[in-house]
A = this chain, B = another copy of it.
Amino acid sequence: MTRIFPEPLTREAFRPFGEVIEMAGAAHYTINQGFTERFNDLAFADVAMEGGATNVSLFLGQPRPAPIEIRLMERHPLGSQAFIPLQDRPWLVLVAGDVHDAASYRAFTCTGQQGVNYARNVWHHPLLVLDADSRFLIIDRKGPGNNLEEVWFAEDKVLGLSV
């Protein structure tokens, strides 16, 4: 089984796949009579295609046994999808430049203060958490059309993601 080892998530490493949603390193300004710092416009919610609109959802995720068996990847041809952790817990992201090229896969360990926004058509694995009952806010697209494409791997192509 080919193993993938995650690296720490950084804006630069994630740039080909979308945006990192985090305060660290982001511009900000003061609002609310001095009581709030605003880190404005951190992700492109690309949801308006073909009559789409913004969908705000919550996900409750459960961990998988380690090493995590990667049996499929997915992408959303009609919109972006953002994941923001609601507890300060590390979690995992797995993306690919070319779903059929194992060398193009990149795995990231995210801190509990890092969200990501997968750009439209970026191949990624469904939510991967490390702790039971991990809560996330999701911002993606709702609307007409088929916004899900999946590729399932043959048994001898299953990847192992180290935790």
Contact = CB atoms under 8 A, between A and B. Distances in A.
B82 A56 contact: yes
B61 A35 contact: yes
A interface residue count range (under 10 / 10 to 19 / 20 to 34 / 35 or more): 35 or more
A159 interface: no
Copies of this chain in the oligomer: 2
Interface string A36-79: 11111111010110000111111111111000000100000000
A122 interface: no
A86 B53 CA distance: 24
A45 B82 CA distance: 15
B23 A126 contact: no
A35 B87 contact: no
Contact of A31 (B26, B113, B126): B126
A126 to B, nearest CB: 4
Interface of A: 21-23, 26, 28, 31-33, 35-43, 45, 47-48, 53-64, 71, 82, 84-88, 113, 115, 117, 126-127, 135, 137-139, 142
